[in-house]
Amino acid sequence: MARASSALSISRRNALFAGLLGLAVSLSGCGSFGGKPAPAEISVMTSGGFTAAYNDLRPDFEKRTGHTVKTAYGASMGNASDSIPSRLGRGEPADVVILARSALDALAKDGKVVQGSQVDLVRSAIGFAVKKGAPRPDISTVDALKRTLIAAPSIAYSASASGTYYETEMLKNLGIEDQVKPKSKRILSERVGTVVARGDAALGLQQVSELMPIEGIDYIGPLPAEVQRVTVFSAGVATGSKHPDAARELIRYLNSPAAAPAIAKTGLEPLTAR
């Protein structure tokens, strides 16, 4: 009788152990434990306006969470081969995309980004730069800006949000499109500041946060308020994400008070979650 009771006890223990093992495997397969995403490799596509802040913040996020982050860079819009819409269009992997809000909403409408996952991260202004040591032209007023653009021998502008505004609206509104547009060059797959630093353009226009990190240029200031165009850069979860929970964790971090000082340092205005 004792032997039968002992055998039954062993059988029960084995069954209990098997059940607990099965539960652990099940939780592991779901990619989370206790509601927290398990460590994952998150694929991010980010446009230039947020790049400097993102590069500063990425190591801290990885240290805090145990996730690793793999990054691809590209413009918010346009048909350059490395633009974010082009990358997504040919099926490159992505969990998080960070770009101008208008472009992000267009991707959500096209089914490339999860509807409702969009989170605004920063406000970004447009500014000008010249080659380091070159005379600093006056852009402090609208009239001064017009004179500077007319006098400049060459002007470089981006193929993304700031450049689209420059070539389709700003010059026309200033009444100098015919004089200035022919000597303006749209830059694909390269920072405008890099072109200016090489001496390939006398004046460069781009998001302030994209100009400030570039060596070999002098940032001369933002557009006057009357013609300034502020762009909101936002993040969303890609519909093909393999790690949507980890993707949302990264977006929450980028929108948190902890991230705000690093963002502000790059010339952006943080839109921290309240």
- pLDDT tens per residue, range 88-98: 999 999 999 99
d(C-alpha 186, C-alpha 75), whole Å: 13
d(C-alpha 97, C-alpha 88), whole Å: 10
- Edge to edge, the sheet with strand 126-131 lists 184-187, 155-158, 203-207, 126-131, 217-222
Is the pLDDT at 42 greater than 50? The verdict is yes
Residue with tokens 């048909």: 79
Mean pLDDT, residues 140-153: 98
d(C-alpha 148, C-alpha 155), whole Å: 10
pLDDT band at 4 (very low <50, low <70, confident <90, very high): very low
d(C-alpha 102, C-alpha 114), whole Å: 15
Strand pairing category for 68-73 and 119-124: unpaired
Read off the DSSP letter of residue 135: -
- Are 148 and 138 in contact by the 8 Å Cβ rule? The answer is yes
Residue 70 C-alpha from the chain's centroid: 13
For the chain, state the CA radius of gyration: 25
Spell out the domain ranges in the chain.
Answer: 39-123+232-270, 126-227
Mean pLDDT, residues 190-213: 95
Mean pLDDT, residues 81-86: 92
Read off the DSSP letter of residue 90: T
d(C-alpha 83, C-alpha 187), whole Å: 12
Is the pLDDT at 27 greater than 80? The verdict is no
Tokens of 266: 């790059």
pLDDT of residue 36: 60
Residue with tokens 């029960």: 12
Ramachandran category for residue 237: left, alpha or beta (phi over 0 → left; psi -120 to 50 → alpha): beta
Mean pLDDT, residues 51-58: 95
DSSP assignments along 15-44, one per residue: HHHHHHHHHHHHHHHTTEETTEEPP-EEEE
pLDDT of residue 38: 76
Residue with tokens 């809000």: 101
Same fold, 39-123+232-270 and 126-227: yes
d(C-alpha 204, C-alpha 185), whole Å: 10
Helix residue ranges per DSSP H, 176-269: 177-180, 192-198, 208-211, 244-254, 260-265
pLDDT band at 80 (very low <50, low <70, confident <90, very high): confident
Quote the longest CA-to-CA distance of the chain: 105
pLDDT of residue 20: 42
pTM value is 0.77
pLDDT of residue 248: 97
- 269 burial via Cβ count (<10 Å: 0-12, 13-18, 19+): middle
Any idea which architecture 126-227 has in CATH? Answer: 3-Layer(aba) Sandwich (3.40)
pLDDT of residue 35: 52
Q: Closest Cα to residue 206, out of 225, 188, 193, 190?
A: 193
CATH annotation of 39-123+232-270: 3.40.190.10
The residues, any chain, with a CB within 8 Å of residue 21's CB and separated by 6 or more, are none
